[in-house]
Every structure is written in structure tokens, then in C-alpha cells.
Amino acid sequence: MTTKVVDTPQGTTNSYGAPRNPTYSFEAEPELDKLRLHLYRSARCDLIPSDVVARRTETWNGDHLVSSVDQGPVQIAKPAIDEVPCDQGYARDIEVTLVIGNAIHTLGTTDAYGYVGVNLNAELREQLFGAGVPANAMVRVRGPKGQPAQEIGMLSLASLRDFETGTARMIEELNALLAKGADLSSPDIQRSYELYEKLRALAWYDPRFKAASARFWELFFARKQLESTQNLTRNLKALDSARELLKGAGVGAIPLFMQVAISSQAFDPRALDWASGELLTAIRAKPQLCSSFDWTQMQTYGFAPATQIAVQYLRFAQGDGFYTPIAGRCSFITRG
């Protein structure tokens, strides 16, 4: 009696090794009264190709096959062929400090979404922005479990006041347009889109912009975006589709916070806002699709990968009926 293992090739797949060499990046959201940073983490993983085989164990008595037992699919790993970014997520529980010259200012520890903020009282404002202070500060972080400190980038102190002035001016102009409600003219609508896109990129976390954003979406989509999604069951299959699209979209095409939200399977209001804006832009570019849009036909519309990812994230966050309120406002959305 003898036994042997028989493998029948079924295809190939890739897997990833353990994350190593963690690194961090940040986005700054400054105001005159508060300095906020949002931190993200990433690591490097080996890309390991594997052959997938259907394995069975055969038992022979001489030349006679006695039994054959299927063992199911088995992956046979090969040597790593590349190193790729992996383990992207929010940098939680990270100690953050600012290094200005020889002085170190502690900002605090990040929360579950990688957020840390500090109120700028008069004394701290003078230390950060006063006369003789260098134009830039180094952001230094220390990861959990005794990880060594890392310097992850420079924060421009000189530009913070100019940033606040420009942001306040754009928010004021956007609020004035939104106050017109349904009486917005075509040029007004066009300008509101421009202002919204600039503020979305520059100051999404600013509470003044959040208030204007809520009014923007209520006016153009006739719904309250965040409230309508709080109790929905998440569509994880749609998020899997977004993750597959992300692999071929190119790192620079999708904002980092969006990549992290997809990789972390997280409902992120900022990601939802970005996805809505991407779809709105695509509809305005192809108004003929507005009233007949069908997410199952996306491949025929010629949408860019970013728009396809946006649609899948909206399906994840709001369900397959996410487009219904948009279709009802087509004549208003496509004006301008």
C-alpha cells in the first residue's frame, strides 16, 4: 500500500508578508484658534506569488487505486518578487510633538481616526508664530509599544495666518451664495461648485465649512447626507469592489484619506463627502446620464477610476439606492 499527493493547477494568486518599517504622514488643518493634525500610517510588505492547486491524496495497492480523497485548494508560496505599501490606516495612539528650533511642543496623542488638536492660547500662539520663530516646524511622532521617534515632515508656520484669511473669505462667499437657495443663477451655481471644491480640499475639518457643506448638500441633493446614512447596513461587497479598483487607480489619483477609509473598511464622513463630490463632478460633465444613471453600467460610461471608486464607496455607505435623491434633482444639479 502506498500513498501519494496529486496537485492539479488551478491558477495563481498573490499574498502579502507581515508589515514592517511603519511610516507616518500627516495633513494639517490650521485655524487661528486651533491647530489640528490628522495622521495616517503605512508599512511595507513583501508581495508573495503563489500557485493555487487542487490537492488530493491517493492510496494505491500496487497498480490498483484504492481511494482518492480531495484535500481542497492549496496555495504553494514562491519567493517574494516585490515590496509594496500595505497596512494603511489611521495612525491611532500616536504621540505628536512639534519641534521648533531647540524647543519641543507636545500636541497630544491621536484618537481612533488619527486626529490630534491643540487650542492656541495667547502664550502658545506667541511661541509658535511670534517674532523670531522659524518659518517651519518639524512634526515628530512616536508610535505605540516603544517605537522610536520619527520626523515625518515640515509644517509651515509662516503660512498659517494667510491660510486662515483665505479660508474665511471663501467660506463667507459660499455662504452668501447658498443663502439664495433655489434662486441661484447658473453663474452662481458654477461659482458655488468652485468654492466648495477648493474648501473641500483645503479646510474640510473647519467647522465653518462643515456647516456650509451641510447646506450645500441639502440644497443640491435635497437631503441631509450624514443623517441619512447613520443607521444603514454597510455594503461590504461594494467596498471590496472599491478596493480592487484602488489597486489600479494609481497612488496620486485618490486622496490618502480615501485610500485609508477603503483599506480600513471605515465609514468616514470626509470620504463620503469626497465620493459625493466626485460623482457630482462626473454628472455635470455628462449631464445626459443624470436622470438615467445606473451604477451597474459604470463601465459603459467611461468614468475615470476615481469616479468608479467614489460610486462604490457611496454604495458601501448608503446602499444601492444612494442615487435616488440625485436623480430627483437633475435639472438643478446640471445647471450652470
292 or 3, greater pLDDT: 3
Residue 269 is predicted with a pLDDT of: 81
pLDDT at 59 over 50: yes
Look at residues 138, 162, 154 and name the one whose alpha carbon lies nearest to residue 31. Answer: 162
Cell numbers for 112, please give them.
Answer: 481612533
Distance separating alpha carbons of residues 60 and 252, to the nearest angstrom? 57
What's the pLDDT at 39? 92
Phi, psi of 19 (to 5 degrees): -65, 145
Percent of the chain scored above 70 by pLDDT? 87
Closest to 155 (Cα-Cα) out of 170, 174, 136: 136
Query: Strand pairing of 149-156 and 115-119?
Result: unpaired
Residue 45: per-residue pLDDT: 92
The predicted pLDDT at position 96 comes to 92
Among the residue ranges 95-104, 242-251, 297-306, the one predicted with the least confidence is 242-251
Name the one residue in this structure whose C-alpha cell is 507636545.
106
How many helices (H) and strands (E) would you count in the chain? 11, 10
Of these ranges, 77-81, 98-102, 206-210, 330-334, the one predicted with the greatest mean pLDDT is: 77-81
What is the structure's pLDDT at 151?
Answer: 92
For all residues of the chain together, what is the average pLDDT?
A: 81
**Which one-letter amino acid corresponds to residue 298?**
M
Averaged over 141-154, what is the pLDDT?
Answer: 85
Residue, of 82 and 156, whose pLDDT is higher: 82
Q: What is the mean pLDDT of residues 75-97?
A: 89
Look at residue 188 and tell me whether its pLDDT is greater than 90.
no
Work out the widest C-alpha separation in the chain, in whole angstroms. Answer: 92
Residue 125: band (very low, low, confident or very high) from pLDDT cuts 50, 70, 90: low
Higher pLDDT, 146 or 271: 271
Return left, alpha or beta for 132; rule: phi > 0 is left, psi -120 to 50 is alpha, else beta. left
Q: Which helix (H) or strand (E) holds 8?
A: strand 2-16
The DSSP code sequence of 305-324 is HHHHHHHHHHHHHH-TTTTH
Q: How confident is the model at residue 124 (pLDDT cuts 50, 70, 90)?
A: low
Distance CA 151, CA 154 (A): 9
C-alpha pair distances (Å), 64 with each of 6, 12, 69: 16, 32, 15
| pLDDT attached to residue 56 | 92
Q: What is the pLDDT of residues 191-210, one digit of tens each?
A: 888 898 888 877 777 778 88
Alpha helices in the chain (DSSP H): 122-129, 160-178, 186-202, 207-221, 236-249, 256-263, 269-285, 298-301, 305-318, 324-327, 330-333
Q: How confident is residue 225, by pLDDT bands cut at 50, 70 and 90?
A: very low
Confidence check: pLDDT of 170 > 60: yes
Q: Residue 284: pLDDT above 80?
A: yes
Average pLDDT for 59-66: 87
